[in-house]
Chains A and B, each alone.
Chain A
Amino acid sequence: MKNESTFIDVPAESSSAMKGKAPLIGVAKDHTTSGSGGYNRGLSIFDFLLRLAAIVAASVAAGTMFTSDETLPFFTQFLQFEAGYDDLPTFQFFVIAMSMVAGYIVLSLPISVVTIVRPLAAAPRLLLLVLDTAIMGLTMAAASSAAAISYVAHNGNQNTNWLPICQQFGDFCQKTSGAVVSSFVAVVFFMILVVLSGVALKRH
């Protein structure tokens, strides 16, 4: 009859550890509560809020340009008395690109939520960084091409005999300039988002 109070029961696990399970080279990180995870989670929350702001900026830009039609009350012989965004192909590109950008940010909100829930995972952050960089290039292209056309519309060009149409179409020019400014704000948001993802990746 064994007296169990005097014998120490060796658990089976230690014998299998002696047989050579993988020894720990580094310390396994706790993915939810370590200090680095808290810092990354804060960066992810800021990232999410910036995305909400960028949705507003992009959709304001697209909407303002889309509704910038103006019809002059009088008749002139040489110029059209109606102006809209579809008279200039660059502004058409602007509206389409900013709508796509706004749609993309809405679709990237779930991935941003994933980086909040799992702050130390690298794959969603890397995916967000890649997509954000590409979309930032598209937004910058749309914003600056519309800005160049707005500049010509405001100031004209003497060397090429391009007349400044803003002298007739004041409201149209104001609205398109406002849309361009809003899209540049969206570009700045995207730049900050890319840098945020980079900094968060460093601490993973």
Chain B
Amino acid sequence: MKSGQAEIAETSKGIQKRGLMSRKIAIFEFILRIIAFFNTISSAILMATTNETLPFFTQFIRFHADYNDLPALTFFVVANAVVSGYLILTLPLAFVHIVKKKTENSRILLIILDVAMVGLLASGAASAAAIVYLAHKGNNNTNWFPVCQQFNSFCERISGSLIGSFIAVALLIFLIILSAIALSRRH
């Protein structure tokens, strides 16, 4: 009987360890959400404040460049703003996951919303990357001129703001995987 009681004690310690691991996962998720929020908000602000006016006048090309001039960049700013607002709004929910024990239904909701937001953010980032690539290299076959040869600082800024957005996409994907791991650990 003694070894039976020892095994009961061991199993309950196993349950306690499992609870501690779930808490660690929830804290890690909370921190990742904050980092992703900062990435998306900085990408949105960096892209939205690009503005370059050339000091000279050319006959063929406009001498003013703005993020509004390219619809893909406008979509990028909007997508990043929406995702950063979503991340701020789900921070309290992530905090509740640290504290509460039975979080399965809210985790399912969080997975569904995270999947939608990953789609939106990846879409914005990829379309902006395609347009930025076109602005850098141009295209000989379609006679599209690379505008970066005139607007240097504009191009540098829009390229830099893509980085934060891609990091946030990777973080959101990792968050989905973490939520799934936390879901599968329950018994």
Contact = CB atoms under 8 A, between A and B. Distances in A.
Interface residues of B, number: 57
A157 interface: yes
Contacts of A134: 173
A25 B8 contact: yes
A202 B124 CA distance: 31
Interface in A128-175: 129-130, 133-134, 136-137, 140-149, 151-153, 157, 159-163, 165
Residue of A129, A146, A160, A187 with highest tally of chain B CB at under 10 A: A160
B89 interface: no
A16 to B, nearest CB: 11
Contacts of B125: 141
* Residue among A141, A151, A153, A199 with the highest chain B CB neighbour number at 10 A: A141
Interface stretch (A3-11, A36-44, A77-85): A77-85
A137 B173 contact: yes
B183 A148 contact: no
The 6 A-B residue pairs with the shortest CB-CB distance, nearest first, are A20-B3, A148-B127, A145-B130, A159-B69, A141-B126, A20-B4
Given A23-B7, A151-B72, 17 more contacts: A20-B1, A80-B141, A83-B141, A87-B142, A88-B142, A89-B133, A129-B176, A133-B173, A133-B177, A136-B115, A141-B126, A148-B72, A149-B130, A159-B65, A191-B116, A198-B112, A202-B108
Interface of A: 18-23, 25-26, 78-80, 83, 87-90, 122, 125-126, 129-130, 133-134, 136-137, 140-149, 151-153, 157, 159-163, 165, 187, 191, 194-195, 197-199, 201-202, 204
27 contacts: A22-B7, A23-B7, A80-B142, A87-B142, A89-B137, A90-B130, A133-B176, A133-B177, A137-B118, A141-B126, A144-B127, A144-B130, A145-B129, A145-B130, A148-B126, A148-B130, A149-B130, A149-B134, A151-B71, A152-B134, A160-B62, A162-B142, A195-B112, A195-B115, A198-B111, A199-B108, A202-B108
